[in-house]
Amino acid sequence: MSTSTLSTETGRVVPPGKPGHRSARSVNALGRGSGLALGISLVWFSLLVLIPLAAVVVKSTTGGWSGFTDTLTNDQTMAALRLTIGQSLLVTMVNVVMGTMIAWVLVRDRFPGAAILDVIIDLPFALPTIVAGLVLLSLYGPKSPLGVNVASTRTAVFVALAFVTLPFIVRTVQPVLEELEPDVEEAASSLGASGFTTFRRVILPSLVPAIAAGAALSFARAISEYGSLVLITGNLPNRTEVASVRIVGFIEGNNTAGAAVIATVLLVSALAVIVALDLIQRRVARRW
């Protein structure tokens, strides 16, 4: 038999199943095992993530506000940041389209070699980034067998970032596509909806959270990339030097505070894009 409960927020009796009713399980205190697991998790997360990030931010302020701005407004540093963030945003936008398309082909189409392609998609995850840079230099460098030489150009930055970030959106969108029920699409088609309308009104709303998550991962990886860029970009100051290379230069010059300044800017940029993508996907999801 169901019983009513007293709402602690309003002081009113709330019938079961009504708004404001909460199960006893949701308000119970953590058990001994759960509390221990939570404590260990927080300590481990703090040691690996929170404390190191806080240390970088604190280190960036050791020279005071003037030292922070002097490092940030340096022409070479600004050029590296603009190139890194700009190319990372461009690569992320391209990945949104191409990654979703590749995931769609892998899930919805059947063709010879599909299983091989599905495995190769993960290659940038497993391949050491310096090896990826060597592969790209061999294919798109001065001795390119294709006759395409993009070494030491901004295009090289784009190609390298696209290579290492390709799998993120594919692997976040692919499981969602596999779980979508085809009955809903068939119902939309039977009601006269075109293929594009079905995709826009039925499929895309389900994919938006996965696309946003993949895009956030793609951008975060792109702005922090180092290994695949070192060989093919040439690291030319004010031209093809990226932020990660600039950080290494500061460290080699024993200027850890300057390196921390750039790292802090990259951290803030990554957080801003992640939050923006989360807000966009929530708004788009409500609209549909």
Residue 159 near residue 139 (C-beta atoms within 8 A): no
Going by C-alpha positions, the residue among 266, 271, 236, 249 that lies closest to residue 84 is 266
**Cα distance between residue 82 and residue 90, in whole Å:** 12
Indicate the pLDDT class of residue 267, thresholds 50, 70 and 90.
very high
Residue 10 has pLDDT above 70, yes or no: no
Global pTM value: 0.80
> Among the listed ranges 30-44, 135-149, 191-205, which one has the minimum average pLDDT value?
191-205
High-pLDDT (> 70) share of the chain, %: 88
Residue 242 has pLDDT above 80, yes or no: yes
- The dihedral over CA atoms of 145, 146, 147, 152, expressed in degrees to the nearest 10, equals -90
Residue 202 gets the label, from left (phi > 0), alpha (psi -120 to 50) or beta, of alpha
3-class secondary structure, 75: helix
**Cα distance between residue 149 and residue 156, in whole Å:** 9
High-pLDDT (> 90) share of the chain, %: 48
**Cα distance between residue 117 and residue 170, in whole Å:** 12
